[in-house]
Structure 1
Amino acid sequence: MLRLNKIHHIAIICSDYEISKAFYTGILGLTILKETYRTERKSYKLDLALNDNYVIELFSFPHPPSRISRPEATGLRHLAFEVDNLERALEILRKNGIETEGIRTDILTGKRFTFFPDPDGLPLELYESNYHPD
């Protein structure tokens, strides 16, 4: 059996680099560790961190093919972020023009969560860490 330590990073290919860069940094609040333009590939690679932990590589490529993401396509289902206050997070997303689904409750944990898309429709989840139902 392999001995894995942790997830090192998640790679995302976007269709519009500037829009996705603004979304992941300006709205979601990830910080830029390094931005590289690779001339030979006509491609950006943006290394992003969450709470000083390297988490996402955002790539751009000329004319990437679209990926089917709904309904329930095979492959990566979604990327989930933990938040302390779901209502506050949803308020920020909505103020930035991002549509969100309704709040649901995980029947196994009792925790609340919801989904919203990134600029390319990749399903993202917000999972509330501190909610405790009465």
Structure 2
Amino acid sequence: MKINNIHHIAIIVGNYEQSKRFYSELLGFTIIRELYRAERDSYKLDLAVNGLYQIELFSFPETKSRASFPEAKGLRHLAFAVDNVAEWIDYLRANKVDVQDIRIDETTGRRFAFFNDPDGQPLELYENS
């Protein structure tokens, strides 16, 4: 028995249109499909990350905020591999996204930085090399 890879990551969002723009336009993920499920009054947006991975955004009429930041039980953060963290920080800040300053991973020596999506979900930029 073995797990082959991660199929998708699901994120529940508060403001669907705002999150759709954030992930598709700002972060550049490709929209695969968008569904409106009338029986749930809910949208589901499938996004491709560089053609390899999939993120699903869900909207629901009622959602709860994250219990605490950043150390709530469950998924701590989602990290995206990038070629140049500093360039991404400049890009995100130019688009009015609050991004923490660059830190260095004590184990690998690689640069990384944290920021949040519109709902406060912690996201990380992690430099490939």
Distance in 1, Cα, partners of 2:70 & 2:34? 33
CA 86–71 in structure 1, closer or farther in 2 if over 3 Å, else same:
closer
Give, in angstroms, the shift of residue 103 of structure 1: 0.6
Aligned to 1:60: 59
Aligned to 1:7: 6
SS in 1 for 2:90: helix
Per mean C-alpha deviation after superposition, the further-off stretch among 8-17 and 53-62 is: 53-62
Conserved? CA contact 1:47–1:54, under 8 Å: no
Give, in angstroms, the shift of residue 69 of structure 1: 4.0
Distance in 2, Cα, partners of 1:19 & 1:106? 31
Aligned to 2:74: 75
SS in 1 for 2:19: helix
Identity across matched positions, percent: 60
AA at the equivalent of 1:109: T
Conserved? CA contact 1:47–1:57, under 8 Å: yes
SS in 2 for 1:36: strand
Cα RMSD for the two superposed structures:
1.0
Aligned to 1:101: 100
Question: Could you list the runs of 5+ residues in structure 2 that have no partner in the other structure?
Answer: none
- In the alignment of these two chains, the number of paired residues is 129
User: What's the TM-score once normalised by structure 2's chain length?
Assistant: 0.96
AA at the equivalent of 1:60: S
Residue 17 (structure 2) pairs with residue 32 (structure 1): no
Question: Could you list the runs of 5+ residues in structure 1 that have no partner in the other structure?
Answer: none
CA 85–30 in structure 1, closer or farther in 2 if over 3 Å, else same:
same
Aligned to 1:88: 87
AA at the equivalent of 2:125: L
